[in-house]
Structure 1
Amino acid sequence: MAVVVALGAFLMTLVGGWTAQRVTDRRHLVLGLAGGLMLGVVGLDLLPESLATAGKPVFGVPQALLLFVGGFLFAHVVERLLAVRRAAHGGDTGKRAPQVGLTAAAAMVGHSLMDGVALGAAFQVGGGMGATVALAVITHDFADGFNTYTITSLYGNARRRALAMLAADALAPVVGAASTLLFTLPAEFLGSYLGFFGGALLYLAAAEILPEAHHTHPARTTLLCTALGVAFIWLVVGLSG
């Protein structure tokens, strides 16, 4: 049953990516919405889930928060190292590195894979739990598809690469759900991953996506799109809670 439901997540991810492609003439609005969706996913979904399952505090600080900060710093360090490398080879340090976009998209794929694992595990607990998790996964996979395509494209990757990452992101929950027919991952491991991924995602939203959205179009409509992105994730979390 979980694999069948995961096919809905597959389709919703593709719809999100298709939407991101179709509104290229309103790029600032797309980026504003993507930033809001990412902020909502991190603050209202990933971080609370990570805090609940990531294990005991480490030296007085919740393990989830340490990993969250680590993910943020990791994304920052990777981007800076790539910028230094471009400068050493005479490149434009102001230009975004395609590798960062691919790495971020790969993390989105990993997140979608974990979504599929969570979906499969929920159906192992019972049909009611499975239905609740299915609603959350299918609905917010629209945001995943939207963000995967947007992030990959924003960093200068060709359209075919963005489409390839979108396809991988769409297939990931199906693969994750199918894997639970063989094994299940410990909840603490999933929580740790979500904390680290949330920190990296927040860096991309706050340091890259949102500044780019307002760089050439500092419009109120862009702010509205960001707020709508957060509100959408809040609605999803509320309906699935």
Structure 2
Amino acid sequence: MAVFVALGAFLMTLAGGWTAQRVTDRRHLVLGLAGGLMLGVVGLDLLPEAMEAAGREVFGVPAALLLFVAGFLLAHVMGRLLAAAHGGDEHARTPEVGLTAAAAMVGHSAMDGVAIGAAFQVGEGMGLAVAVAVIAHDFADGFNTFTLATLYGNARRKAIVLLVADAAAPVIGAASTLFFTIPHPVLGGYLGLFGGALLYLAAAEILPEAHHDHPAGPTLLCTIAGAGFIWLVVGLAGE
């Protein structure tokens, strides 16, 4: 059942990537929307789940928040190292950054599939509730995967390969739960780490590029709309 339901995430991810491809003439609006979607996914979906799953504190701070900060710093350090390797320009759009970021989205989607499978192990009602949330926000995942890959100068073919991998990842993740389960603290830690890296990409890379030499008003509205969409999805999934 979990694998069958995860096929919905496969289709929704492809739909998000297809949408990102079709609006290249309004790239700044695409990037503004992507930044809002990423912000919403991190703040309203990933981080709350990480806080709940990771549970314990380390020296007075929730472990998920420590890993969230670590993920942000890790993405920042990686960006600086790659910039140094390309002449010291911290704003250089290197293909390696795009591939790494998109690959991280694939890893996150695989964990989405694992979450679906684990929820079905608890009960069918829980599994369906989690699946609705995953399927709804996988549109954003597909949109962001294609956008991240192409933003940094990767060929469209590579971006499509990563998009297909991102779409297939939830199905593979759900299928894996037929053989093993991931402890909640480990899953929570991963979500926190990934959330920090994703926030860095949204705040330091995607949104500044969206507003570069473009009217701020429409782009800002797209960013707000993206975050609001994720809020709506999370709210409906929690009903």
Question: What TM-score comes out, normalization by structure 1 length?
Answer: 0.97
Matched, 1:152 2:153: no
1:1-241 equivalence runs, <5 A: 1-87=1-87, 94-241=91-238
What is the one-letter code of the residue matched to 1:95?
A
What are the Cα deviations for residues 122-161 of structure 1, in whole angstroms up to 9, with x where unaligned? 1111111111111101110000000000001001111111
**1:230 & 1:74 partners in 2: Cα distance?**
24
**2:41 & 2:92 partners in 1: Cα distance?**
27
User: Which SS does the other structure have where 1:13 is aligned?
Assistant: helix
- Is the Cα–Cα contact under 8 Å of residues 19 and 146 in structure 1 kept in the other structure? yes
Instruction: Name structure 1 gaps, 5 residues minimum.
Output: none
- Is the Cα–Cα contact under 8 Å of residues 53 and 188 in structure 1 kept in the other structure? yes
User: Which SS does the other structure have where 2:58 is aligned?
Assistant: coil
What are the Cα deviations for residues 185-222 of structure 1, in whole angstroms up to 9, with x where unaligned? 00111100000000000000000000000011133111
- Is the Cα–Cα contact under 8 Å of residues 79 and 90 in structure 2 kept in the other structure? no
1:239 shift after superposition: 1.0
What is the one-letter code of the residue matched to 1:10?
F
What are the Cα deviations for residues 41-76 of structure 1, in whole angstroms up to 9, with x where unaligned? 000000111111113111111111110000000000
Q: Identity rate of aligned residues, in percent?
A: 76
- Is the Cα–Cα contact under 8 Å of residues 86 and 92 in structure 2 kept in the other structure? no
Aligned CA-pair RMSD = 1.0
- Is the Cα–Cα contact under 8 Å of residues 3 and 174 in structure 2 kept in the other structure? yes
What is the one-letter code of the residue matched to 1:175?
I
**1:37 & 1:179 partners in 2: Cα distance?**
28
What is the one-letter code of the residue matched to 1:107?
A
1:95 shift after superposition: 2.5
- Is the Cα–Cα contact under 8 Å of residues 64 and 196 in structure 1 kept in the other structure? yes
Instruction: Name structure 2 gaps, 5 residues minimum.
Output: none
Question: What TM-score comes out, normalization by structure 2 length?
Answer: 0.97
Residues 93 and 191 of structure 1, relative CA distance in 2, 3 Å threshold? closer
